[in-house]
Amino acid sequence: MLAYLLSRAAQFVVALVVASVVVFLLMSFLPGNAAQVALGTNATPEAVAALEAQYGLDEPPLIRYLQWVAGMLGGDFGTSYVTGAPITPVIIASVQVTAILVVCSIVVAVLIAVPLGTFAALEQRNWIGVTISALSQVGIAVPNFLAAIILVMIFSLQLGWFPSQGWMASIEGVGGFLARLVLPVVSLALVQAAILTRYVRSAVLDVMREDYIRTARAKGLTRTRALFVHGLRNAAIPVITVAGVQLATLLVGAVIIEQVFVIPGVGSELVRAVANRDLVTVQGIVMVLVMLVLIINFIVDLLYPIVDPRIRSAA
């Protein structure tokens, strides 16, 4: 078990290093000189050179990479060439917002998908099961920004229950925080729930055909109870994999939803930085996103041995 943990942790670190190299190279080879961009087109070559020296852009790439990594390890993502302000506080603030949004969305998605998918599997021959399947199919086809616009039209413009946009930190007022959270979370969660429902349904259907379910029924459990006692945990294994991938896509999918609802999350910061050609900030945010995705995968890897003793003893 310890060996499994250490090997996963080692894989995590290796992936992180590879990712940082890729992100750094991509940003370095983008056309345009960061100092030139910061000073504008009218700057003299001397001024550009001076700024390059100030930011260390005249150093060889390897040195710049190592400085960047060393900075990140110390919690410093560098200074924006455009605003001249340190990037770290911006990233911390926006990551918090996005994390709340994404975690709430996946929780809501799982809470909807697991019961609905299970029910759809149990009732697969009835109209209820067929209806759930059909609805989840429709849900997958709806892009989340469209869901967001429709939800805003109904629940904030028509009914006036929730604000149509904006964000409020929870310390400024829990009520306001929650009210502004509902619509973005629901629009992100609905689509994910639709996808996840289909996976839960097919995982449960597969499990119901397993021999051990038949064994459980032969012991004297009813079909439904056999599913709850023996089936769901087995069905969880493929569902965890999908939910992990979904969490990663949510992180990126949030970029659009943050735009729709004007939420100061990672997505909004990223869009702003790209618009301003603020390369250092873009590089920092992309690195943080990659890091978060890798952390999610790492956590999913740790969940497998908890659920499945076969992986535990293979480890």
Partner 1 sequence: MAENLLEVRDLTITPAGAPAPVLDDVSLTLAPGERVGLIGESGSGKSLTAQSIMGLLPEELSASGSITLDGFAGNVLAAGEKTLARVRSTLVSMVFQEPMSALNPLMRIGDQIAEALRIHGETGRARIPGRVLELLHDVHMPSPESARQAYPHQLSGGQRQRVMLAIALANSPRLLICDEPTTALDVTVQKHMLDLIAERVTAVAAGLLFITHDLAVVAGVCNRVIVMHRGRIVETGTVREIFANPQHEYTRGLLASSDLESTDADGRLYTLRTALEYAGPGRTADAAGATTSAMEPGSGRAQGAASPTTSAGVTAHAPLIEVAGVSKLYRSGGFLLRRKAPVQALEDITFSVDAGRRLGIVGESGSGKSTLLNILSGLDRPTTGQVRVGDIRVDSASSAALRTLRENLQIVFQDPFSSLDPRMRVEDIVAEPLVAQGMEREERRAKVADMLAAVDIDRSSMRRYPHQFSGGQRQRISIARALVTRPQILVADEPVSALDVSVRAQVLNLLTDLVDEYALTLVFVSHDLGVVKHLCSEVIVMKDGHIVEAGATDEVYADPQQDYTRDLIAATPSLAAAVAAAQ
212 binds partner 1 (CB under 8 A): yes
Let me know: does 237 contact 307? Beta carbons within 8 Å: yes
Residue (of 28, 50, 189, 38) closest to 108 by Cα position:
189
Which of 67, 131, 137, 222 is the binder for partner 1 (CB under 8 A)? 222
Using the minimum distance from each CB to partner 1, give the nearer residue, 54 or 222.
222
Contacts (CB under 8 A) with partner 1, residues 290-309 = 307-309
CA distance 286 to 271: 11
210 binds partner 1 (CB under 8 A): yes
217 binds partner 1 (CB under 8 A): yes
Smallest gap from residue 229 Cβ to partner 1 (A) = 7
Smallest gap from residue 116 Cβ to partner 1 (A) = 21
Residue (of 310, 306, 299) closest to 9 by Cα position:
299
230 binds partner 1 (CB under 8 A): yes
170 binds partner 1 (CB under 8 A): no
CB-based burial of residue 88 (10 Å sphere; 0-12 exposed, 13-18 middle, 19+ buried)? middle
Let me know: does 114 contact 238? Beta carbons within 8 Å: no
Which of 16, 142, 179, 221 is the binder for partner 1 (CB under 8 A)? 221
Using the minimum distance from each CB to partner 1, give the nearer residue, 188 or 226.
226
Let me know: does 293 contact 248? Beta carbons within 8 Å: yes
Both tokens of 21, joined, read: 């190299």
10 binds partner 1 (CB under 8 A): yes
Both tokens of 218, joined, read: 């032969």
Q: Which residues contact residue 61 at a Cβ distance below 8 angstroms, ignoring those fewer than 6 apart?
A: 24, 28
Q: How many residues bind partner 1 (CB under 8 A)?
A: 31
CB-based burial of residue 179 (10 Å sphere; 0-12 exposed, 13-18 middle, 19+ buried)? middle
22 binds partner 1 (CB under 8 A): no
Smallest gap from residue 115 Cβ to partner 1 (A) = 21
Contacts (CB under 8 A) with partner 1, residues 115-134 = 125
218 binds partner 1 (CB under 8 A): yes
Binding site for partner 1 (CB under 8 A): 3-4, 6-7, 10-11, 125, 210-212, 214-223, 225, 229-230, 233-234, 307-310, 313, 315
